[in-house]
Amino acid sequence: MSDVIVKMQNAQIYQGNSLILGDVNLEVRKGEFVYIVGKTGTGKSSLLKTLYGDLDLRSGDATVVDYELKKMDWKKVPFLRRNLGVVFQDFQLMTDRNVNENLKFVLRATGWKDKKLMDEKIEDVLGKVGLKTKGFKMPFELSGGEQQRVAIARALLNSPKLILADEPTGNLDPATSDEIMRLLISISRDYGTAVMMATHDYPVIKKFPARTLKTENGKVYDHATVEVN
């Protein structure tokens, strides 16, 4: 496998019948950290949704972790997603079960069966995000930052080649945002996991500079400079 994790050529990204982004051309390589910025409604989330198979790619070409999005159908989407980790702004943890059970649910859903291996994997990912002792806590017993760490642990369960993060610091205070950023950057650096992060959080970009894509006027601009007010 090459170290190109995402490759898009002349991709047209639609939401329903509306063309949101046209002629998208980009490459993201192993271990690369990339921000996606742009005003609300300019296509950041649509771009991420296309990459994880939630929106169909109708025109152009795109390959994500060696899967051709044009050839995607509902049967193949779960296989694509096993190679991805997705992190959302609102954590999306199941509130009726503890941290371990949240993670176990995802492992079972992606085909894991051996209880011992599942327990080992859960311990491993919680260790990576600094929550080794919190497995028996319920989500409501955790701070917002801890819940987002659990969400990142969940994204790491299947050793993804790519993490797609949609506003992961959006609900967090500045100090906690910094912690989550350091964690995502260290995952990208230490495990060679590519990270694409949509964000409005310009202070974070200023503090942790990285390659930046900007969605504007129906286009994606690479290596964009961002005005940080």
pLDDT in tens, 139-186: 999 999 999 999 999 999 988 999 999 999 888 889 999 999 999 999
**Which tokens go with 75?**
């049967």
Report yes or no: 68 and 228 within 8 Å, Cβ to Cβ.
no
Confidence (pLDDT) at 64: 95
Where is average pLDDT lowest: 21-25, 64-68, 221-225? 221-225
pLDDT over 50 (residue 223): yes
Confidence (pLDDT) at 225: 66
Which amino acid does the sequence have at 118? M
Question: Taking Cα atoms as reference points, which of 145, 106, 110, 107 lies closest to residue 129?
Answer: 145
Looking at the structure, give the CATH architecture of the domain made up of residues 1-83+161-229: 3-Layer(aba) Sandwich (3.40)
Classify the phi-psi angles of 84: left when phi > 0, otherwise alpha if psi is within -120 to 50, otherwise beta: beta
Q: What does the alpha-carbon distance between residue 25 and residue 211 come to, in Å, rounded to a whole number?
A: 15
Confidence (pLDDT) at 74: 82
Confidence band of 229 (pLDDT split at 50, 70, 90): very low
Give the pLDDT mean for 2-31. 93
Confidence band of 24 (pLDDT split at 50, 70, 90): very high
Instruction: Indicate the pTM of the whole model.
Output: 0.90
pLDDT over 60 (residue 197): yes
Residue 194: its H or E element: strand 194-198
pLDDT over 60 (residue 34): yes
R_g over Cα of the chain = 17
Q: Please write the tens of the pLDDT for every residue from 35-73.
A: 999 988 899 989 999 999 889 998 999 999 999 998 888
For residue 157, give the 3-state DSSP assignment.
Answer: coil
Q: Would you list the domain boundaries of the chain?
A: 1-83+161-229, 94-159
Mean residue pLDDT of the chain comes to 91
DSSP string for 54-119: SS---EEEEEETTEEGGG--TTTHHHHHHTEEEE-TT----TTS-HHHHHHHHHHHTT---HHHHH
Confidence (pLDDT) at 1: 53
pLDDT over 90 (residue 100): yes
pLDDT over 80 (residue 226): no
